Amino acid sequence: MRSPVSSRNGKNRLNTGFNPATVSRNELPRFPVTQPVFKIDLANALRGKPSMNTFPSPLDRREFLAATSLGILAARSATNPISAQDKPSAQSTTATGQTTPKSSDRVRIGVMGLGRGMAHVQSALATPGVELAWICDVDEKRLNSALKAIAAKHDQASAKAVLPQTTDDFRRILDDRTVDALVIAAPNFWQAPATILACAAGKHVYVEKPGSHDPQEAIWMVAAARKHKRLVQMGNQRRSWPAIQEAISKLHEGVIGRLTYARCWYNNLRKPVGPQSPAAIPAGLNFELWQGPVPRRDYVENLVHYQWHWFWDYGNGELGNNGIHALDLARWGLSGKQGERDHLQAVSYLGGHYHLGKTQESPDTGGCLFDYGTHGILWEGSSSHARRPDKLPFVEFYGEQGSLSIEGSGYRAFDMDGAEIAKNTGTGGDLIHFENFIEAIRGNQPLQAEIEEGQKSTMLCHLGNISWRLGQTLHSQSLKGNAEPSSISQSWNTTPEINNLWTRPHYAPGFAPQM
């Protein structure tokens, strides 16, 4: 499955180029690589943000599937009178303060992945004007359990609501032209391919973190949102929490002076992965669809439904699993009102298998440093020691006049002597971020975590993992022209081996580009 180029863990990777692909029901849309993958300049190509109420009607999916190449699809629109994005916006209020939306402002959604996705199911059921039309999971037990929970929720509310349709293949949801949006809570390796395909089918997308499996997929999914003019929200829920927004505003206003540094922590008490022993596929699990784009392996124990996080073909380690939330806040807070203050200059991730052994591929303990020249970020992860006496905040910002801690759904700010100078707490959880996505579709709000902004933060995770796997500090080259100082808009002056970890070397047959 792997090809020559050594990496830190002794595994090998092969780099291949990609061309526009013929798309069929069993294939995923791709975007061509037009330059060496370690020289990325999205800033100019993707400068425009989608504005509210400017979306064309979605392209007919069957017309799309008949096209011979994504690269030559002409920009066009098709009439779809029942799509929410084509309806006039309404003044509405939900749990975050809007009035009940008009029936004409109904938004029909499907949810893909019913582990983490059950939180989104609950949000959909709690949001006025949202119809949960489909639920999808490759595990029949999860699908049945979710349907039972939804039915119970309807009974408790004495609602005469229709239960959602069920499927193990999310592409059936995309075939339903009455569906406005897809919520993707599937594993990391499915998130970008499903997002790309959903955008091409005319659906808006809410995709969970980290959103992409590798840097190239991050670039492709942003390009897909732009190409098909779809709203894509990333699951960085804290971007919608009022007190966190207030904290970031105060940082940008100078509450602790010029910002110099941010520290992020994630601690847990995870147990060893366990042996990866060959086993029979459990009844009711569509393992073929679970693997999707990933090159095929035989089923083993201790992989589905969670331990895949710690294997590079499937997941992104703890840095991409939980580090993304804190790093997104750190980058947001340090960026300033006008966006990025400086470009990322160096990335170095040191750590190892200090607790859990080498059954898993990603490190269980370590620290990743991001150097921007004028400021820096440190993320420290301890997956197998909770470090409970430390009582660390989620993110700590340091400035020339004090510090600010993000704790839960609130914050506290201190002067240089440690005296508290500001604090607040507020609404947290998933619902407020989900509602922002729905209101953006209706044209009433901008997205709080638009996919390009989200993938700039995810790129920090990808670069950190590449640093650890290569055993190298990554150094960037100076920005040229009008490129913005963003971590996905620059070149990396390191060995060519970075190419071999920049993109998946092979996709599974039936899901891969036709070369």
| pLDDT computed for residue 374 by the predictor | 93
What's the rounded Cα separation, in Å, for the pair 267 and 277?
Answer: 28
| pLDDT computed for residue 224 by the predictor | 93
| pTM, 2 dp | 0.81
Q: Which residues pair with 420 in a beta bridge?
A: 414
Counting Cα atoms < 13 Å in the Cβ hemisphere of 375 gives 22
Q: Which residues pair with 232 in a beta bridge?
A: 205
Cβ-contact 378, 368 below 8 angstroms: yes
| pLDDT computed for residue 88 by the predictor | 35
Q: Which helix (H) or strand (E) element contains residue 414?
A: strand 410-415
DSSP letters spanning 226-259: HHTT--EEES-GGGG-HHHHHHHHHHHHTTTSSE
| pLDDT computed for residue 445 by the predictor | 97
Sheet holding 232-234: strands in order across? 165-167, 130-136, 107-112, 181-184, 204-207, 232-234
Q: Which two tokens stand for residue 173?
A: 């949801």
- Residue 283: count other Cβ atoms within 10 Å of its Cβ: 7
Cβ-contact 412, 423 below 8 angstroms: yes
Q: What is the mean pLDDT of each run of 10 residues along the chain (515 residues)?
A: 35 29 33 30 33 33 28 26 37 50 82 98 97 98 97 75 94 98 98 94 98 93 95 98 98 97 96 94 97 96 97 98 98 86 91 93 98 96 94 96 97 98 97 98 98 96 97 83 57 76 87 47
Using alpha carbons, list the distances in angstroms from residue 348 to 230, 250, 261, 358, 466: 35, 29, 16, 21, 9
DSSP letters spanning 266-292: EE--PPP-----B-PPPTTB-HHHHHT
What's the rounded Cα separation, in Å, for the pair 187 and 316?
Answer: 10
Task: Give the CA-trace dihedral at 396, 328, 248, 184, to 10 degrees.
Answer: -130
| pLDDT computed for residue 102 by the predictor | 63
What's the rounded Cα separation, in Å, for the pair 353 and 356?
Answer: 6
Cβ-contact 63, 202 below 8 angstroms: no
Cβ-contact 122, 109 below 8 angstroms: no
Round to the nearest angstrom and report the end-to-end CA distance of the chain.
18
For Cα atoms 363, 365, 368, give the angle at the middle one, nearest 5 degrees: 85
What's the rounded Cα separation, in Å, for the pair 431 and 337?
Answer: 26
Preceding amide of 204 cis, omega within 30 = no
Q: Backbone phi, then psi, for 191, in 5-degree steps?
A: -65, -50
| pLDDT computed for residue 103 by the predictor | 56
Place of tokens 């509405």: 92
Q: Which two tokens stand for residue 184?
A: 């993707």
| pLDDT computed for residue 100 by the predictor | 60
DSSP state of 372: -
| pLDDT computed for residue 496 by the predictor | 77
| pLDDT computed for residue 437 by the predictor | 98
User: Do β-strands 376-382 and 365-371 pair in parallel, antiparallel, or remain unpaired?
Assistant: antiparallel
Report which residue type is found at 314.
Answer: Y
Cβ-contact 177, 167 below 8 angstroms: no
